[in-house]
Amino acid sequence: MNPDDRVVDLVATFGAQDANVAWLLCDRHPTDNVAITAVDATGDVSTVTFGQLAADSHRYARVLQGLGVRPGDRVATLMGKSAELATVLLAIWRLGAVYVPLFTAFAPQAIALRLAGSGARLVIVDPDQRHKLAPGPDMPEDPERNVVVTKAT
C-alpha cells in the first residue's frame, strides 16, 4: 500500500463517525499479544496482554456503570502513568463517557478549576493523590461529585 492510500485508510478507520475506541485500541488485537509494558517507580516491569486489558476494562466499565456513568458523562482521573490508568481510560471510553485528564503535578486549585470547567461528577484517583481532592480553600466541597480511589500502586 502506498503512503497516500495508507493515510486514507487510517483516516477512514480512526476518523469514522461510528469509530469504537475500545475496538480500535484493544479488542481488535490478538488477546495474547502484549498491549502494555509498564515500569514502576522501583524499576519492576509488568506486562498486560490485550486479553487482560479487555477483561479488566470491561470489569471496570461495569463498576463505573454501577456508579451511574452514562454516555456523554465526564469522568476525571487523577492517576499516575500506569497500566491501571490505561484500563480506566478504556473503561471510560467503553461507556461512551468523556475522559478528563487531571495531571498529578496539578495543585488542588488547578484540579478544582478543571473539575468545575468540565462538569466531571466522578473522579478516579490514586491513593497518593487523594489528599488533593479534600475540601478546603482551594477545593470547594461538591456533594454531587463521587470519588473512587484506585488500588494501592
Question: pLDDT by residue (tens digit) across 64-86?
Answer: 999 999 999 999 999 999 999 99
Strand boundaries in the chain, DSSP class E: 34-39, 45-49, 74-78, 98-101, 122-125, 146-149
Write out the three cell numbers for 27: 479488542
Can you give the pLDDT at residue 153? Answer: 44
Write the burial class of residue 107 (CB in 10 Å: 0-12 exposed, 13-18 middle, 19+ buried).
Answer: exposed
The proportion of the chain whose per-residue pLDDT surpasses 70, expressed as a percent, equals: 99
pLDDT at 95 over 90: yes
Question: What is the helix, strand, coil percentage profile of the chain, to 5?
Answer: 45, 20, 35
The proportion of the chain whose per-residue pLDDT surpasses 90, expressed as a percent, equals: 75
* Segment 99-120 mean pLDDT: 95
* Segment 111-119 mean pLDDT: 94
Strand boundaries in 44-128, DSSP class E: 45-49, 74-78, 98-101, 122-125
Query: What's the pTM?
Result: 0.88
pLDDT digits (tens, 9 = 90+) for 6-54: 999 999 988 988 888 999 999 999 999 999 999 988 999 999 999 999 9
Domains of the chain: 21-149 (3.40.50.980)
Strand boundaries in 20-120, DSSP class E: 34-39, 45-49, 74-78, 98-101
* Segment 97-116 mean pLDDT: 95
Give CA 24 to chain center in angstroms: 15
